[in-house]
Structure 1
Amino acid sequence: MCIIFFKFDPRPVSTNAYRLILAANRDEYYHRPSKPADFWGNHNEILSGLDMETGKEGGTWLGITKRGKFSALTNYLQPKIVLDAKGRGSLVSNYLTSDLDCYSYIKRISEEGHLYNPFNLLTAEFNNTKEDVIYYYGSKGEREPVKLNPGLYGLSCSLLDTPWKKLQYGKKLFADIIKKSHDIAREDLVQELIKVMNNEEP
């Protein structure tokens, strides 16, 4: 299942601290074609992977821009997919290419959530002149987007921080890495996070 762990620390006092540390895994069908993360040719300030499946080209599940806009998506686990629903991958792509702020965009999406198969969406802005902010909306949860407080979060194929064992265990491993993030080099931090995401312990 898709899974995201992240620590949000808006404008940390310590110059050593990170404003966002995120580790994510897209659990998708192996046969589904996609491009690895790269800057877009037509929007070269956007960095993300891209769906290449016929009919879903250009959608993505996680991306960021040089201006500090960030978004991520997970699908909500459900027994049956509605085949004629709108593609969820456009939720991230459309935000990254829009001029809307993160709240205005996710608020609009919360009013259109019924048009898609169930999903979870994060939209954020990391801006040097305004406050850093992250909003969350789960189409199976509250009707209004939620502004997230600083902290450590886990998101999978249910609502934010649903206490599934896999999510709880992953959050613990992630939290252990975060505790030493000030004391290790960035490259080492990345490798430690990759180990967490590659963990195969049942």
Structure 2
Amino acid sequence: MCIIFFHFNPNSSSAYRLILAANRDEFYSRPSKPAEFWTNNCNILSGLDMEKGKEGGTWLGMSKKGKCAALTNYLQSSSNMEGLGRGFLVPNFLTQDIDGLSYLKKISLQGHLYNGFNLLTADFSTKGDMMCYYGNKSHEEPRVLDPGIYGLCNSLLETPWKKLVHGKKLFTETIQKNCSLSPKNLTEELLNVMTNEEIQLPAADIEEQGQDFIRPILKEFSALFIRTPIYGTRTSTIILVDAEGHVTFTERCLLEPGTSQWKLSSYQFDLEM
């Protein structure tokens, strides 16, 4: 499970074109690599899933060519074990010469072959910035997003779960107060938001959607930052794209479950437009 907040401000000449803050929630035992530029494609930056049979998938990534994508699972009470691997939806977009809307339309033709997911794509270029969304449980076509502030968790885009509304409020207040800060300082403020552990109960909507799967951890799952003995928030990522196409990509990874030991990595690069 994951949660993402983002401010899309396309073609801004003075402010950030994208401010994105995301948490990745996963079982601590699932192997993965922290974000780094790929060895076989030095233009793409992302963490990588290393689960056997799913190696190379990812939940969030960006390329120097101005493409960005992020994935969340749709909370379901049960999953189809024969479903296609959702983790490859992000890298497949980042490595293909195709715009986000066209890619999502292509994926939507096979949406029924996957377990539930939400997929965001972004294209930053001199021709115009574009951000798109598709959820295979929405029964709607992929769409281009208007400029604005959005929240996405494990239901459809902007579904008003209490935790999403709470987190979006914190995110919005933070960027409104601090949007003129340097990338380093704004990143620090956003990381503070993403570590918020305030329980957001009651959560009848989450329980209804997740049923038996989510009930054992409903209390913990209702917070932005999740912490349980075997499952929780393992990675927080902040992506900033400024008016000049300069990208700051910062990732904080949990080193040891049950501790507050984190590894912080930051990458900066200019988009090749």
Taking structure 1 as the reference length, the TM-score comes to 0.96
Match of 1:90 in 2: 88
Match of 1:189 in 2: 186
Aligned-pair CA distance for 1:84: 1.0
Instruction: Indicate if the aligned counterparts of 2:133 and 2:145 stay in contact, CA closer than 8 A.
Output: yes
Instruction: Indicate if the aligned counterparts of 1:7 and 1:21 stay in contact, CA closer than 8 A.
Output: yes
* Partner-residue secondary structure (3-state), 1:160: coil
User: In 2, Cα distance between the equivalents of 1:53 and 1:80?
Assistant: 20
Map 1:46-195 → 2, pairs under 5 A: 46-127=44-125, 129-195=126-192
Map 1:11-26 → 2, pairs under 5 A: 11-13=11-13, 15=14, 17-26=15-24
Aligned-pair CA distance for 1:37: 0.5
Aligned-pair CA distance for 1:104: 1.1
* Partner-residue secondary structure (3-state), 1:189: helix
After superposition, what is the alpha-carbon deviation per residue over 1:119-163, rounded to whole angstroms, capped at 9, x for unaligned?
Answer: 000111011x21100110001114310110000000000000000
Matched positions, count:
199
User: In 1, Cα distance between the equivalents of 2:140 and 2:181?
Assistant: 40
Instruction: Indicate if the aligned counterparts of 2:101 and 2:143 stay in contact, CA closer than 8 A.
Output: no
Unaligned runs of at least 5 residues, structure 2? 200-273
* Partner-residue secondary structure (3-state), 2:27: coil
Match of 1:5 in 2: 5
Instruction: Indicate if the aligned counterparts of 1:110 and 1:143 stay in contact, CA closer than 8 A.
Output: no
Q: Which amino acid aligns with 1:10?
A: P
After superposition, what is the alpha-carbon deviation per residue over 1:172-201, rounded to whole angstroms, capped at 9, x for unaligned?
Answer: 000011102333221111011111111001
User: In 2, Cα distance between the equivalents of 1:65 and 1:175?
Assistant: 26
User: In 2, Cα distance between the equivalents of 1:8 and 1:181?
Assistant: 16
> Which has the higher relative contact order, 1 or 2, with Cα contacts under 8 A spaced 6 or more apart?
2
After superposition, what is the alpha-carbon deviation per residue over 1:97-121, rounded to whole angstroms, capped at 9, x for unaligned?
Answer: 1111111111000111111101000
User: In 2, Cα distance between the equivalents of 1:84 and 1:140?
Assistant: 17
Q: Percent identity?
A: 62
Unaligned runs of at least 5 residues, structure 1? none
* Partner-residue secondary structure (3-state), 1:184: coil
Runs of 4+ in 1 over 6 A off after TM superposition: none
User: In 2, Cα distance between the equivalents of 1:160 and 1:9?
Assistant: 18
Q: Which amino acid aligns with 2:88?
A: S
User: In 2, Cα distance between the equivalents of 1:21 and 1:60?
Assistant: 20
User: In 1, Cα distance between the equivalents of 2:112 and 2:56?
Assistant: 22
* Partner-residue secondary structure (3-state), 1:28: strand
Higher Rg of the two aligned structures: 2
Match of 2:218 in 1: none
User: In 2, Cα distance between the equivalents of 1:167 and 1:161?
Assistant: 8
* Partner-residue secondary structure (3-state), 1:180: helix
Higher strand share: 2
* Partner-residue secondary structure (3-state), 1:154: strand
Q: Which amino acid aligns with 2:197?
A: E
